[in-house]
Amino acid sequence: MSESTLLGRLDETTRIAREKSSRGGAFVPPRVGLVLGSGLGGFADTLENLVKVPYQELPHLPSSTVVGHSGNLCFGSVGGVPVVCMQGRVHLYEGHPVESVVHGARTMARLGASSILITNAAGGIEAGWAPGDLMVLSDHLNLTGQSSLVGPNEDALGPRFPDMSAAYDPGLREAAHRVAKEAGFSLREGVYAGLLGPTYETPAEIRMLRTMGAHAVGMSTVLETIALRHMKVKVGALSCITNLAAGISKTELNHAEVEETARASRDKLVALLRGWIVAAGAQ
């Protein structure tokens, strides 16, 4: 298959990822894929039978330039469920073409993952929410000004006009709440506004987003979700509310704070992700 087509590039990345991750042994197709956002990459190191393949060794997968995002495609398992995991992701604001931004997510789907769980760091818009809260996405607003599906449609991946009426799988959303409850905490749920960045928003933009129905805001996730729904992959997504959004927060926003809060929520997040992966693997 030619590298001049999306399918050709995807198949090349997938083939090399299989080879590198199986190290000469049999390749075990992952059931669940995971995208780890800002400050959340440490989860990959908790996988059983972990094998890491650096993005640099995989064609067409760009490496992130953002602090807190190391770049490895990680293979392993969680409670017996075979998992593939992106430790670090790239963002549109880094200047990568949209195809590159979603290439890792598409690769995980082509490797076999039928459910993909996406995590991100986000600013909280909803009154009463606090840094450290975790929010399951019920829906999103794609305000990046881009779509992962612009260009000729790749019919082998999915239809020209994919349905987005249940972008975030209802079964996975319900499973996240159940797992959190069993672990002794509760989750927020709401609409994630995905913006281009890289600036944080102005207070006026946050007021606009609240009027539009957003509960949290960030700079990722929506393009991956679009690419994955095109491929009919089930998507679950979770925001770690790392700060209150601009104008609500009394202090200046900065990336160090975002990373620090994400890390402080690590224990809750690890417990949740482990249970969520097992539930997703059983679906």
> Among all residues, which ones are annotated catalytic?
38, 69, 91, 93-94, 121, 219-220, 243, 255
> Least distance in Å: CB of 37 to ligand HPA?
9
Q: Which tokens is 55 given?
A: 């993005």
Q: Does 68 participate in binding ligand HPA (rule CB under 6 A)?
A: no
User: What are the CA-CA distances from residue 5 to residues 2, 77, 104 (Å)?
Assistant: 6, 32, 16
Q: Which residue from 40, 78, 187, 258 is in contact with ligand HPA, where contact means CB under 6 A?
A: 258
Q: Which residue from 32, 53, 74, 121 is in contact with ligand HPA, where contact means CB under 6 A?
A: 121
**Cβ closer to ligand HPA: 84 or 244?**
244
User: Looking at 109-117, 133-141, 151-159, 239-247, which segment touches ligand HPA (CB under 6 A)?
Assistant: 239-247
Contact present, 215 and 188 (Cβ < 8 Å): yes
Q: Which residue from 217, 235, 237, 273 is in contact with ligand HPA, where contact means CB under 6 A?
A: 217
Q: Does 237 participate in binding ligand HPA (rule CB under 6 A)?
A: no
Q: Which residue from 141, 183, 208, 253 is in contact with ligand HPA, where contact means CB under 6 A?
A: 253
- Prior bond to 198 cis, omega within 30? yes
User: Looking at 73-81, 134-142, 241-249, 275-283, which segment touches ligand HPA (CB under 6 A)?
Assistant: 241-249
CA distance 235 to 154: 20
Nearest to 263 by CA among 57, 121, 149, 97: 121
Q: Which residue from 242, 277, 279, 280 is in contact with ligand HPA, where contact means CB under 6 A?
A: 242
